[in-house]
Structure 1
Amino acid sequence: MKEMFWLIKNTLYVTFKKKKNIILFLCLPLLGIFISIVAGQDHNGTNVKVGIVNHDDGQVATDTKGFLLGLDNMKVTSINQSEMKSKLAAGELDCVITIDKGFTQSVYEGKPDYIKISSIKGAEITGFVKSYLYHYINNIAAIGKTAKGDSKAFKKMYQHYQDATFKVDIHKVKDKHQNEMNYLMIGFLLMAMLFSAGSLSEILIKEKENRTYFRLLTTPITAKHYVMSNIIVCMLVVTCQIFFTITMIKHVFHIETGVPFWQMAVVLMLFGLSAIGLSLITVVFANNSKTVGALQNLIFTPTIMISGCYWPVEVMPTFAQKMANFLPQRWVLKTLEQLQEGQQLQHLYLNLLILFAFAVAFFLIVVYRFNHNNNVRNFG
């Protein structure tokens, strides 16, 4: 145990005596916050550009579209499904509302479904649109629940609801802070965690190249202690990144995440295990530090992009959306999004198990590679 503590202390010292590593580990996640704030400022005082793709020919779907068209702070246009991705990517639309066939029937039954919102601008846009749209839909769904499947009763109450007049006074207030976190903030944090774990794991093969590793093995330090100490250091650094970034988001930039501090930390720390396991995979399958760097760039960057860290997966091709479900980053974003929508963490146990399973799978690959080499001394 004494040797383990010495290794951890030495690795931390060697790592952080280089000031650039502090910038990499702590400042990179903050870049996402700055970009998100700047992107959010572009929409202050402007109308939200909304596209509608309507596949449902029911009355409720038509009226929902009419409701959105009547809002003063939204510029709503009808588009085709084929135009959605290109218009979102080009910035011609801030978000797209897709109403699938079956939407009207689901509202009749009091269980609204078959409607979704896609955006690359993040939760500050989707949350704004949802606040209007879901309130309207839930009111109609309440009529469906009251009617209990009686179509005549529903139509009568629905018509009365449509004919009713309401007086609404609108007052503009000054927005003093960003309302919700978006993809970029968490996306940059996940990217920083991956590359930080990769940088720390790369120490293993660099010290093997300069013979430091083999000199250490002439002491009471074992190879397993050496590798385990590196994993502990990785987890310490990743944990610091998580708590530092969340603290900055909440208490310095005053951005409301919509997710309790500890719940967000639990989800991100589960991903941290996956990040460490994935970084070790690049080490055990590489022969030198240059190969490690190439493998990390080949694995980390594409998976970050495909998983939806920089834009929602809905704007990507269907095959890419399916690939995203096999990436831990995607499950982190999906879990945090569900927590933002009000779901309880204990109800998302399947998401957490999937994240944990990714970490276990990565570490099993690393262990297999160690055993395949017959000796952990030859981890590269």
Structure 2
Amino acid sequence: MNSLFIAYNMLRRTLLQKKGFLMYLLIPAGVVSLIIGVMGQQQEHRIDIAYINMDQGPFGAHLLQELKLLPDYRLQEQSSGADLKESVTKQKTSGAFIIPEGFSETLLKGTAPQVDMYQLSVSEATITLKITLDSILSGYQGTVDVHRKQGLEDKSLQEAMEKTLTQMEKHQVKAHVTDLNLYVNPNMHLVVGFMLMFMMGVINNTISVIMEDRRMRTMARTFTAPVRSIEIMLGNFIGSFLVGTLQVLVILIVTRYVTNYEYGLPFFSQFVMLEFFLLASMGIASAIAGMVKNVSNMGLINSLVVTPTCMLGGCFWPISLMPEWMQKIANFVPQKWVIDAIQQMAAGHSLSQMWMHMGVLTLFALILLGVGTVILKPEDAEVG
């Protein structure tokens, strides 16, 4: 009961005040929603491709028509080779290609034509364009070979190919692509990362309250009563945990049902993983609260604990981009484990398969809470 009284007192001094309600609920939900609006949503966009068609036969026109029908490309015709190269070098388009003169005649002769491509750098857009062009050209060559095997040559071959292309343009057989949403939003780590940063703000909340109790000697007076050090620490722990839980609920509800951000995993699974991270954060807060002796040192907490661990844990960029030795160090910060668990569940894994991640986060909480209980001395006043 002593711990519950202390927890309620912390809740009353933080969340139940106007400033606390604004700092711990409204601002985090608003900032995360703003991040989602600016860069978090996975946007579908068409790739701009420049082209020049120097062919006078039916194959060049049919090739362009097939590319225009694809939802992935937006074709932009250029008047000259210089304009085409300029559009690529100035990054007005992702890539470019030229259909050479005599393109149709080369195909009718049974020879593979050369379509020149231009790109500033190798990218997914240019690679997919090359694959698409190769696929279409391979289809042309296969059709020409079939007619040649039937004994068609020259004019009769050209007439047969024109009739074939006319039938192909009708697209009587179509493929229906079903999006099973098996991919993970590449920007989700950024959204979840900022969410974790706000949750770690509870660390500052816990330490601020404990520092105030030390400065006012409230903690020392509490310790003179029949209240043990572990009860004081547990009360601060529970109070901060309640504040963090309400913060998690508000952020998830706002981002899911107001901003309509698609995380790709159930609400309950994400909430449980964030609660385990909150436990680990509270453990960190307990350990730091026992070490910080002066309120003037509070400014060092962000620079020495919150920001570096968020950087190592993948809150600002994917862990795979970091050197191998930094990836190994990332295993010692809780952010890495919760982000990895959320991404795996978004890719199709269930919450029950995240037992190792939940175990590691629980271990963080137990060890650090134990350290904080040992080093906390409630009878001490603030130093300095």
1:73 equivalent to 2:72? Answer yes
The higher relative CO (CA closer than 8 Å, separation ≥ 6) is in 2
Larger mean CA deviation between 327-336 and 251-260 belongs to: 251-260
Give the deviation of 1:356 after TM superposition.
1.4
Gaps of 5+ in 2: 50-69, 75-93, 95-123, 129-170, 178-183
Residues 28 and 198 of structure 2 are in contact (CA less than 8 Å); yes or no, is this contact kept in structure 1? yes
Post-superposition CA distance 1:11-41 (Å, at most 9, x none): 2222235433223211224412321221256
C-alpha RMSD of matched pairs (Å)? 3.7
1:15 aligns to what?
14
- Name the SS of the counterpart of 1:287 in structure 2: coil
1:286 to 292, 299, 302: 292
- Equivalent residues in 2 for 1:147-296, closer than 5 Å: 167-168=173-174, 182-219=188-225, 221-296=227-302
Give the deviation of 1:234 after TM superposition.
0.6
Which structure: larger Rg? 2
1:47 equivalent to 2:50? Answer no
1:36 equivalent to 2:42? Answer no
Residues 206 and 288 of structure 1 are in contact (CA less than 8 Å); yes or no, is this contact kept in structure 2? no
Give the deviation of 1:240 after TM superposition.
0.8
Number of residue pairs matched? 266
Residues 273 and 358 of structure 2 are in contact (CA less than 8 Å); yes or no, is this contact kept in structure 1? yes
Kindly tell me: are residues 179 and 312 of structure 1, through their superposed partners in 2, closer, same or farther at Cα, counting changes over 3 Å? Answer: closer
Kindly tell me: are residues 40 and 356 of structure 1, through their superposed partners in 2, closer, same or farther at Cα, counting changes over 3 Å? Answer: closer
1:350 aligns to what?
356
What letter corresponds to residue 73 of structure 1 in structure 2?
A: D
Structure 1 length-normalised TM: 0.61
Give the deviation of 1:368 after TM superposition.
3.7
2:24 aligns to what?
25
- Equivalent residues in 2 for 1:328-347, closer than 5 Å: 328-347=334-353
1:315 aligns to what?
321
Gaps of 5+ in 1: 50-70, 76-93, 95-127, 133-164, 172-177
Give the deviation of 1:312 after TM superposition.
0.7
* Inter-partner Cα distance in structure 2 for 1:267 and 1:48: 40
Residues 268 and 332 of structure 1 are in contact (CA less than 8 Å); yes or no, is this contact kept in structure 2? yes
Kindly tell me: are residues 222 and 312 of structure 1, through their superposed partners in 2, closer, same or farther at Cα, counting changes over 3 Å? Answer: same
Query: Once the two structures are aligned, what percentage of the paired residues are identical?
Result: 26
Larger mean CA deviation between 178-187 and 317-326 belongs to: 178-187
Give the deviation of 1:290 after TM superposition.
1.9
- Equivalent residues in 2 for 1:297-316, closer than 5 Å: 297-316=303-322
* Inter-partner Cα distance in structure 2 for 1:260 and 1:42: 18
Kindly tell me: are residues 329 and 184 of structure 1, through their superposed partners in 2, closer, same or farther at Cα, counting changes over 3 Å? Answer: same
Structure 2 length-normalised TM: 0.60
* Inter-partner Cα distance in structure 2 for 1:309 and 1:299: 14
Residues 11 and 239 of structure 2 are in contact (CA less than 8 Å); yes or no, is this contact kept in structure 1? yes
Residues 11 and 240 of structure 2 are in contact (CA less than 8 Å); yes or no, is this contact kept in structure 1? no
Kindly tell me: are residues 47 and 354 of structure 1, through their superposed partners in 2, closer, same or farther at Cα, counting changes over 3 Å? Answer: farther
What letter corresponds to residue 335 of structure 1 in structure 2?
A: A
1:377 equivalent to 2:383? Answer no
Post-superposition CA distance 1:285-335 (Å, at most 9, x none): 111112243134311111111211121112223322222122110010100
Kindly tell me: are residues 314 and 192 of structure 1, through their superposed partners in 2, closer, same or farther at Cα, counting changes over 3 Å? Answer: same
